[in-house]
Structure 1
């Protein structure tokens, strides 16, 4: 982990922000919290639940993430400064409205474009990792995440991908998993709607469990989220969901859903997105406090949403800023044990659980036929 270690810098600006008029702690205490945050993150780095870097890099004619790249929010120096140990790289692509299967071939053409665009993004991630071998390493399992961290590399986990990328075919899901996909978003899926999961949707969740692909339920209808929580044998993720009770937003979760997520030991990954959580570090901390209280400390994690086109709270503008958030949580009384779960432990647990369930299930369950029943609406 030598590459992940660095000197701790506390600037004059940070000191002033930690000692605003309504802050009862003096400048020295603010610096002490920040120093403690750096020390804790060196042992328990951040597993960032959502990065849009692959899409952000696509239009750039040239970039160097190892030396530093000002055109994006994420590069290796800032990942190290922010103590990021793992990064979930989104493969999601925009998708138009979905019509009935086979209607004038329109839906098939659109789905084919989404599948192709997802594969292109997957190829881009592979090339980016190959171009930056001293900083990044593509991984598939929880064990490989640890290996990458021990070698001083940031572990790159593929996903979430859009549900449309599987084109209602379990065969395509299996191919994507064989290429390294670890997370699939259920938002927008024709088989995960306001009524819950269709029969084929339930087969998708079972096959994801068999393959070790985690379900991302951020943005999915509440009924589909609840049914997936009941059906899945592995923890689910909500890669971009905060607390609706603190700040209403379509992707934020009600207390009822947070409680269900806690019962299933799923992971709510609170996004550093101003629209969802608010404009300040304190606002983000309010969401984390609430999720911890309702779902439990074993069910909360972080999602930077950097390079995804969203605005970020003040002082959380790029991947180097995580220590400021952790310092705020230390100031609020979070224990080091709770923070180790928040930054690293809960995501690792979800990955390990998915790996274990996949190995056990593959020994007793054959792959499901690739397409939904023809009688399915």
Structure 2
């Protein structure tokens, strides 16, 4: 228990630095090293990339101010790794935008606030596609929608809810989210909730190492209701016990919308080889995340960053502000740490794809960057860099068909199977009265 919690304290600091460390490198840094010898590969990559239907299953939005005059994703936004301009530049056809809700107290007021926060973020995502830029993007609620929208030259916008805490204890909220266009729900986030155990117990909320030992009784009913309503079950952030429970009882394939592989980097947020094999047996898909700390986190680098933060008195909440001061001590010393212990890059990202392909199989791997939620590494800093992923896959010997499946085909197959398993006309799960 102590080792797990200590690892998460390290991660809490290092994950906060994931995008900051990458920011010390020029966007598309790996592209700058290209030579004339790379041109045939790049020409082939452009051809393959243009023909593929490219999807990213996890991008966070910045709260209810998203898709307003305060934060307009229809124009180039330096603070965003995903906006419509970058998607077009990188040839990214569609993206799941995540309505994220942080884990708080499990009582009636906590559930009410979480549900309202999710509704506000869902409204923001819908506003982007239906009110602000209907000529450039469109809300997709089925795989057929995605294909139609992409064929029309628009960006497909899809909705996920990150943290089933937002469901509260009223299972009718599953149907409510489905009616609003939500097509996956991440069962938990950082901290156990009313549905299941998380891979990261929240000490601030008094979490024990394991509370439900997987799914709670309510969680089992949530899984059944999500199956019935055709909503994909997302197991990123879930404890191994939760993962096993869901894989055993779900009538439809599941996804991990933004996870890495423990076989490459043994991080609590990554899936073990056993989980990858479960995913293959279930027919699901792991969408490889681009958070540097999940891809590569050598202990020496972690210790150096933690020591730097302690020495200059920078808390986890102040890291972003400190990194924006180019002449500040924090930025100077972080650059030296980067020199001694290079952070994760595009090559590390594709190493995780390689591992998932070896263990789970080519039909069970995709891309879920976690842009604007910590994702972004040199070579794949934002959606404008998406071609680099295709080029690196080609460099490693993947065929055009295999790359097309990784970029979107596998996810669409899983989504169609989830739809086919749905039975919305069947008997609904009954609501449980709110507690607290």
Q: TM-score, normalised by structure 2?
A: 0.74
Question: 1:65–1:132: 8 Å Cα contact kept in structure 2?
Answer: no
1:259-303, CA deviations, whole angstroms, 9 ceiling, x for partnerless residues?
111111211011111111131111111110000000000110001
Kindly report which structure 2 residues correspond to 1:297-336, keeping only aligned pairs within 5 A, or say none: 297-308=362-373, 310=374, 312-336=376-400
Candidates 362, 366, 372, aligned match of 2:427? 366
* Candidates 403, 409, 425, aligned match of 1:345: 409
Deviation at 1:318, TM superposition (A): 1.0
Return the alpha-carbon distance in structure 1 between the equivalents of residues 28 and 148 of structure 2: 37
Task: Describe the shift of the 1:74–1:15 C-alpha distance in structure 2 as closer, same or farther (beyond 3 A).
Answer: closer
Change (3 A) 1:63 1:96: closer
Aligned Cα root-mean-square deviation (Å): 2.3
Query: How far off is 1:28 after superposition?
Result: 3.5
Structure 2 residue 279 is matched with structure 1 residue 265:
no
Other-structure match for 2:195: 191
Q: CA deviation at 1:160?
A: 3.0
Is 2:101–2:114's contact at 8 Å kept on the other side of the alignment? yes
Say if 1:52 and 1:306, in contact at 8 Å, map to a contact too.
yes
Question: 2: CA distance between counterparts of 1:125 and 1:373?
Answer: 28
2:203 is matched with which residue? none
Determine the C-alpha separation between the residues in 1 that align with 2:30 and 2:350.
Answer: 17
Distance 2:222 2:73 in 1: 36
SS at 1:317 equivalent? coil
Deviation sequence 1:99-125 (CA, Å, 0-9, x none): xxxxxxxx1111111001101101111
Counterpart in the other structure of 2:338: none
| Cα distance change, pair 366–249 in 1 and its aligned pair in 2 (3 A) | same
State the number of aligned residues.
345
Aligned-partner Cα distance in 2 for 1:131–1:61: 10
Give the drift of 1:249: 1.4
- 1:240 matches 2:258: yes
Residues 1:125 and 2:125 aligned together: yes
**Unmatched tracts of structure 1, length 5 or more:** 1-10, 19-26, 99-106
Whether the 8 Å contact between 1:275 and 1:311 is mirrored in structure 2 is no
What is residue 87 of structure 1 aligned with on the other side? 95
Q: Is the 8 A contact 2:149 2:156 kept in 1?
A: yes
Structure 2 spans left out of the alignment, 5+ residues: 1-26, 198-209, 297-343
Provide the C-alpha distance between the structure 1 equivalents of 2:178 and 2:288, rounded to a whole number of angstroms.
Answer: 25
Aligned partner of residue 182 in structure 1, secondary structure: strand
Provide the rounded CA distance (Å) in 2 between the counterparts of 1:90 and 1:319. Answer: 16
Call closer, same or farther: CA 1:56–1:303 in 2, change over 3 Å.
farther
Shift in alpha-carbon separation, 1:271–1:206, aligned structure 2, 3 A:
same
Shift of 1:311: 5.1
In 1: Cα distance, 2:37 partner to 2:289 partner: 27
Residues 1:181 and 2:245 are matched in the alignment: no
Task: Check whether the contact 1:240–1:251 (CA below 8 A) recurs between aligned residues.
Answer: no
Residues 15 and 306 of structure 1: CA distance in aligned 2, closer, same or farther (over 3 Å): closer
Residue matched to 1:114: 114
SS in 1 for 2:414: helix
Where does 1:1-377 land on structure 2 (aligned, <5 Å)? 16-18=32-34, 27-55=35-63, 58=66, 61-98=69-106, 107-129=107-129, 130-187=131-188, 188-193=192-197, 194=210, 195-278=213-296, 279-308=344-373, 310=374, 312-358=376-422, 361-363=423-425, 365-371=426-432
Q: Are residues 12 and 276 of structure 1, via their aligned partners in 2, closer, same or farther at CA, if it must alter by over 3 Å?
A: closer
State the secondary structure of the residue aligned to 2:95.
strand
**8 Å Cα contact 2:59-2:97 kept in structure 1:** yes
Q: Deviations over 1:3-57 (max 9, x none)?
A: xxxxxxxx99766524xxxxxxxx3342222222221121113210101135395
Give the whole-Å Cα distance in 2 for the aligned partners of 1:354 and 1:320: 30
